[in-house]
Structure 1
């Protein structure tokens, strides 16, 4: 994306909550092999189920593009996504994702055409995706959870985000798929949906598991040494 305006902040990213508007595409695929999960996370349904997400945040706290591949998972009573890979074209989003929620974002470039996008980095193409058009029917979604699990040090962190907007059928298919990504059983998704226009709300993270509760120190960030270092 171009003409991006990012609010300044001392650590290089805005403090939560982050608010944004834009569009989200989501497809579900099956992978050839079971996907690995960290201890304490269990799959929702099959361990071969892979969620592929493409998001354009066009207004709000930050404006950027995002591509992610993730497993739908559960941690005790908490449900969300565990990212196997996630890429953004904003350094502020990258730093914030890592430091606020323990989400391992990586830098990438997004090259858009009329009906596709190519996501690439210095190592080459990560994925090329066929995008849209939206279906004609629309269902208002006043509230939907948008939870993601990350890790900061020894703590599992949950980003308990919220989504709202208009849900439609969509298209998010694969044109190219890097070997760095989980191998898909088929190139066509099991289903594809779009939330557009969409609103996003991302609050400070919460530790789930060993301690629970809000993260100490600066909102959304753990302090102190990493017990695993």
Structure 2
């Protein structure tokens, strides 16, 4: 894993980061509730997971991103707490860790028609099949794209925004490996996508002391969810 304290800040853009691309968001159910740090409270079901797949094709940086997390709250602030998040850009990794305390990791994203396979230095992470965007789409202006991080002992908060055309999306989990949370079912409860998306990620806010971090599960032998292909 890359050292979050180096290299120097010049390797990534200063905030705000601005980008264009496409986003898929899927709601899944974990077999067991993932743990959250003590200073964060879950929003919605404790076993509810949010899967985000983003392709940033223009802007401050161009990269792919895959994240699995829980919607969480601290006071009046609500955002995604990432249990794991991977990108294919070293600059995005360093900037994400240094600016917002988001624990990004490096991975390779292999696209083949409508299928993407994500693989890090330890082996396969996940494989997803994407369907076409639904035709009925609603313009969305300045929807929140917020998340929690940690820098040293301080909780951080990124209050980003996304706009674009929101509609139903299609995503199927083909493969799913530890250390991702075990799934009760690979079938999504709901999938949305934003096409022609525009993202703005400003400087983060430090909220105060962070609770004990959630434990990281070791990577056992590879496995697939029930019903995967």
TM-score, normalised with respect to structure 2: 0.86
What per-residue deviation string (whole Å, max 9, x for no partner) do you get for residues 177-214 of structure 1? 00210001011000000001100000000012459xxx
For residues 65-214 of structure 1, the aligned pairs below 5 Å read: 65-210=64-209
Q: Number of aligned residue pairs: give it.
A: 203
What is the CA–CA distance in structure 1 between the aligned matches of 2:174 and 2:209, rounded to whole Å? 42
Give the aligned partner of residue 58 of structure 2: 59
- Report the CA distance between 1:10 and its aligned residue: 4.9
Q: Which runs of 5+ in 1 are unaligned?
A: 1-8, 212-229
TM-score, normalised with respect to structure 1: 0.86
- Report the CA distance between 1:105 and its aligned residue: 0.2
What RMSD, in angstroms, separates the aligned Cα atoms of the two structures?
1.3
Give the aligned partner of residue 215 of structure 1: none
Look up the SS of the partner of 2:18 in the other structure.
strand
Q: Is the 8 A contact 2:153 2:209 kept in 1?
A: no
Q: Which runs of 5+ in 2 are unaligned?
A: 1-7, 211-229
- Report the CA distance between 1:168 and its aligned residue: 1.2
What is the CA–CA distance in structure 1 between the aligned matches of 2:154 and 2:122, rounded to whole Å? 31
Structure 1 segments (4+ residues) deviating >2 Å: none
What is the CA–CA distance in structure 1 between the aligned matches of 2:142 and 2:193, rounded to whole Å? 15
